[in-house]
Amino acid sequence: MNIQLFSKKVLVGAATQGIGAGIALELAKCGANVTIMARNEEKLKHMMASLPVLSPDQKHQYLVADFSDFEAYKMIISHYFTHHSVDILVNNTNGPEPGLALEKEVDDYQKAFDLLFKTVCETTLLALPHMIRQKYGRIINVSSLSVKEPIDNLTLSNSIRSAVIAWAKTLSIEVAQHQVTINNILTGYFDTERIQNLIRHESQQTGKSEEEIRKGRENKIPMKRLGKTEEYGHLAAFLASEYSSYLTGTSIPLDGGLNNTY
């Protein structure tokens, strides 16, 4: 299987590190014109320099946007789509703060809703008109295994990501006739800055060492290791390609077999 995305225009959120970076790199390796989006311009420039260019026609760019400030994000992304269109959209944001349900206030859930749901909804609805007109489009939502089984200490993520999945499934049915696909990746434990921060937070709460917590997570996974971001990029590239043209409305666990142990 040789995935080629030459001439395809891609927008990838939270793409300066972790899973977003892994996806952007893989799609660029497949020939796509990739726009990476995040809040830190210096990190965006650094990431841009690492994206491969396979031909003179392949061009990458970046967009500075902060997912945690929805009103500002709405203006930036609306302006972007006034001048650009995309064939492939990867909805990915930074995660909300960890914490227990009894620790959170109603305002915390509103902030998480703005971050995880409203940004995805806004970006998708702006991307769809072009996709529908051309009778082709790929929307990939980076989600979490927490939509199948809540993860301890991630009450905000557990709550809001489930709403995104339900909305995406509903929307996928409506746009399928236009040959636009919408699929979700349910993320397991990957070796990223996010997982390191969560381990550090858990260590501070429990008094356990970070190494002990990391080993505990690895031991829960049948493959006995954390995922690699390039492995995430491989699945995203498949979902972005012609090979996935009859696959829509799905939520695919990418977790080293962890989902099967629930």
Residue 73 sits in a domain of what CATH number? 3.40.50.720
pLDDT > 60? residue 261? no
Q: Has residue 2 been placed in a domain?
A: no
Q: What residues contact 175, with CB distance under 8 A and at least 6 apart?
A: 128, 131, 132, 137, 182
Q: Is 205 a member of any domain? A: no
Residue 260, pLDDT score? 62
In a domain, 170, yes or no: yes
Would you say residue 205 has pLDDT above 90? Answer: no
Q: Can you tell me the distance from the alpha carbon of 199 to that of 208, in angstroms, rounded to the nearest whole number?
A: 10
Tell me if residue 222 falls in helix, strand or coil.
Answer: coil
Indicate whether 234 pLDDT > 70: yes
pLDDT in tens, 155-204: 999 999 999 999 999 999 999 999 999 999 999 999 988 888 889 888 99
pLDDT tens digits for range 45-98: 999 999 999 999 999 999 999 999 999 999 999 999 999 999 999 999 988 888
Q: What is the distance between the alpha carbons of residues 80 and 187, in angstroms, rounded to a whole number?
A: 28
Radius of gyration of the CA atoms of the chain, in A: 18
Q: 107: which 2 tokens?
A: 């305002």
Q: How many CB atoms lie within 10 A of CB 74?
A: 17
Which pLDDT value is given to residue 201? 81
199 is a domain residue: no
Tokens at residue 145, please? 């295994």
- As a whole number of angstroms, the distance between CA 198 and CA 22 comes to 19
pLDDT at 98: 85
Instruction: Return the number of other C-beta atoms located less than 10 Å from residue 102's C-beta.
Output: 6
Mean pLDDT of the chain: 95
What is the tally of structural domains in the chain?
A: 1
Q: Would the pLDDT of 152 be above 90?
A: no
Q: Is residue 210 part of a domain?
A: no
Per the confidence metrics, is the pTM higher than 0.85? yes
Residue 81 lies in a domain: yes
CB 239 within 8 A of CB 173: no
Answer yes or no: is pLDDT of 227 > 80. yes
Q: How far apart are CA 147 and CA 166, in angstroms?
A: 10
Domain that includes residue 75, residue range? 9-189+228-261
Q: Does a structural domain hold residue 214? A: no
Q: Is pLDDT above 90 for 104? A: yes
pLDDT the model gives residue 262 = 45
Buried b (16+ CB within 10 A) or exposed e, 118-155: bbbbbbbebbbebbeeeebbbbbbbbbbbbbebbebbb
Domain-located, residue 148: yes
Percent of the chain exceeding pLDDT 70 equals 99
